[in-house]
Amino acid sequence: MLLKLFPYLSALLIEEVEWRPDQVVLRTRVRAATGSCRCGQSSARVHGRYARRLRDVAVGGLGVVIELCVRRFRRENPACTAVTFTGQVLGLTTPHSRPTPLLREVLTRIGSAPAGQEPDWRPRSASP
């Protein structure tokens, strides 16, 4: 059911859903056992973990927060300059960003509407 509402979360394992009066919190972790460094090399050597909170588009009037357990990996490629790197989720996370790409698109479209015109806030990827 949740993956029908959030198909871009398919790379994540949703471990818990917490319903609050004003928001839904999805506690998740990445399904893949490895992460990819910017040099293109994969690594399974986990250096550590931390929690990351992403804001997503509202559903049913409730804000959506994705709490993602992020892993830092040790590099396996001795030629790479990165000692550790954070595994990113393609299409969902980018370094240091808190809104999801979908929420960022909606906010950009609202903010760039000409004065006096109603913004087209629907994401381009949504079906009519």
Q: Where are the chain's structural domains?
A: 2-111
Q: Across all residues in the chain, what is the average pLDDT?
A: 87
**pLDDT at residue 120, rounded to an integer:** 67
**pLDDT at residue 12, rounded to an integer:** 94
- What would you measure as the largest C-alpha separation in the chain, in angstroms? 56
Low-confidence ranges of the chain (pLDDT < 70): 1, 116, 119-128
**pLDDT at residue 127, rounded to an integer:** 46
Find all residues with CB under 8 Å of 79, minimum gap 6, and list them. Answer: 39
**pLDDT at residue 128, rounded to an integer:** 46
**pLDDT at residue 116, rounded to an integer:** 66
Alpha-carbon distance 34 to 94, whole Å?
Answer: 17
* pTM recorded for the entire structure: 0.79
**pLDDT at residue 14, rounded to an integer:** 94
**pLDDT at residue 55, rounded to an integer:** 96
